[in-house]
Amino acid sequence: MSTYNKKFEDITFEDIKQIEELNMKEDQNHEFKVGFPHGDSFCATITSFANSYGGDFFLELNVAGSDHIV
């Protein structure tokens, strides 16, 4: 399962659930972070995608005061 060849607006919640269920690992086109990364780390990831073939950056955020993860 890869979202790499999909347009952003075509990625569905089902795609995200499948990534989690398959326990997909990071690779050259997919980066997964929990919480917002430190500025240098974030910039390095975005720069590496920009200098290659691009990629998908998934950021898990826990909304304060909520049990929901976005």
| Range 28-41 burial, b when 16+ CB lie within 10 A, else e | eebbeeeeeeeeee
Indicate whether 66 pLDDT > 80: no
Distance CA 44, CA 50 (A): 10
For the purposes of burial, counting CB atoms within 10 Å of the CB of 70, is it exposed (0-12), middle (13-18) or buried (19 or more)?
exposed
What are 2-51's pLDDT values in tens digits?
787 888 899 888 888 888 888 888 888 788 877 777 778 788 888 888 88
CA-closest candidate to residue 30, choices 8, 10, 18, 45: 45
pTM beyond cutoff 0.85: no
Instruction: Give the residue, 42 or 62, on which the prediction is more confident.
Output: 42
Instruction: Please indicate whether residue 70 or residue 53 has the higher confidence score (pLDDT).
Output: 53
Q: Is the pLDDT of residue 70 over 60?
A: no
